[in-house]
């Protein structure tokens, strides 16, 4: 990720770093908040008791994991803890809690893309630089987080979804619980040599960009028609 900053210098570099870090904090914090919110709504007050029912990044960010994300390109936030005993419908509720963070990331990516495009029309200033980088990174980070967390590897959300719906003693679940951390590390190392995530990420970003580009195209066309 450090290569991203190389084209900026001085005050511009500082502005870009702040926008970059802020967008990453929001993407991670909103992801974890979504887990906590849905768990609380479904009857488990564990996240609320632990102070996780908040948008405050300080309660969600793991300092070491966050620094790794910035300097290495992968890291983590503090996982939201839930007590499944408090759920009335175990499989359904655990699935909803697990998928909540991914849905939140998709929503943020969907919202941030048109705001990014809008910011490009504001002219040229330090403020516009901050806003454009912020929404651009917010779009990117949320798309990446959504895809990455869908991977069926322990302890990611994709695994949690499978775990919630698998029968007791499922061999895949047991294997992942024992070896998932090592497999995840291997995948992260592999990603430095083989870019397998980009095609998957495009499955999310392409529909979003196509939708908003179509909406903007229709808006511009209507505006031109009215001006004639």
Q: Residue 45 forms beta bridges with which residues?
A: none
Is 168 inside a domain boundary? no
Residue 167: pLDDT above 80? yes
User: Tell me, what's the pLDDT at 190?
Assistant: 86
Is 169 inside a domain boundary? no
Is 115 inside a domain boundary? yes
Scan for tokens 């929503």, then name that residue.
107
Q: Which residues are known to be catalytic? A: 32
Is 157 inside a domain boundary? no
What would the two tokens of residue 12 be?
A: 């511009």
Residue 143: pLDDT above 70? yes
Q: 91, 88, 77: which is closest to 36 by C-alpha?
A: 77
Is 165 inside a domain boundary? no
Residue 193: pLDDT above 90? no
Give the range of the structural domain holding residue 85, as residue numbers without chain letter. 2-150+195-227
Is 166 inside a domain boundary? no
Residue 1 pLDDT level (bands cut at 50, 70, 90): low
Domain count, the chain: 1
- Percent of the chain whose predicted confidence (pLDDT) is above 70: 98
Q: pLDDT tens digits for 75-88?
A: 889 999 999 999 99
Q: pLDDT tens digits for 14-72?
A: 999 999 999 999 999 999 999 999 999 999 999 999 999 999 999 999 999 898 888 87
User: Tell me, what's the pLDDT at 2?
Assistant: 58
When the pLDDT of each residue in the chain is averaged and rounded to a whole number, the result is 92
For residues 78 and 66, give the distance between their C-alpha atoms in angstroms, rounded to a whole number: 10
Is 160 inside a domain boundary? no
For residues 187 and 212, give the distance between their C-alpha atoms in angstroms, rounded to a whole number: 33
For residues 97 and 121, give the distance between their C-alpha atoms in angstroms, rounded to a whole number: 38
pTM of the full structure: 0.92
Q: pLDDT tens digits for 216-227?
A: 999 988 888 877
Give just the sign of the alpha carbon dihedral 47, 51, 54, 56.
negative
User: Tell me, what's the pLDDT at 57?
Assistant: 94
For residues 151 and 160, give the distance between their C-alpha atoms in angstroms, rounded to a whole number: 10
For residues 14 and 105, give the distance between their C-alpha atoms in angstroms, rounded to a whole number: 26
Is 172 inside a domain boundary? no
Q: 84, 110, 68, 80: which is closest to 209 by C-alpha?
A: 110
Residue 228: pLDDT above 70? no
Q: pLDDT tens digits for 170-192?
A: 999 999 999 999 999 898 888 87
For residues 14 and 154, give the distance between their C-alpha atoms in angstroms, rounded to a whole number: 36
């Amino acid at each position: 990720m450090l290569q991203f900053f190389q084209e900026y210098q001085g005050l511009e570099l500082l502005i870009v770093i702040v926008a970059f870090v802020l967008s990453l904090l929001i993407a991670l914090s909103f992801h974890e908040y979504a887990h906590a919110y849905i768990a609380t709504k479904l009857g488990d007050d564990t996240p609320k008791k632990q102070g996780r029912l908040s948008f405050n990044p300080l309660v969600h960010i793991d300092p070491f994991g966050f620094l790794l994300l910035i300097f290495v390109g992968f890291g983590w936030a503090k996982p939201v803890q839930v007590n499944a005993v408090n759920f009335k419908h175990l499989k359904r509720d655990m699935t909803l809690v697990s998928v909540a963070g991914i849905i939140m990331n998709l929503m943020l990516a969907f919202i941030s893309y048109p705001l990014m495009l809008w910011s490009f029309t504001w002219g040229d200033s330090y403020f516009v630089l901050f806003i454009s980088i912020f929404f651009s990174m917010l779009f990117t980070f949320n798309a990446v987080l959504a895809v990455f967390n869908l991977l069926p590897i322990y302890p990611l959300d994709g695994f949690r979804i499978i775990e919630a719906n698998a029968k007791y003693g499922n061999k895949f679940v047991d294997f992942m619980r024992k070896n998932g951390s090592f497999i995840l590390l291997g995948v992260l190392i592999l990603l430095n040599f083989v870019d397998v995530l980009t095609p998957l990420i495009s499955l999310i970003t392409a529909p979003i960009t196509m939708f908003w580009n179509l909406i903007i195209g229709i808006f511009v066309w209507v505006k031109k028609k009215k001006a004639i």
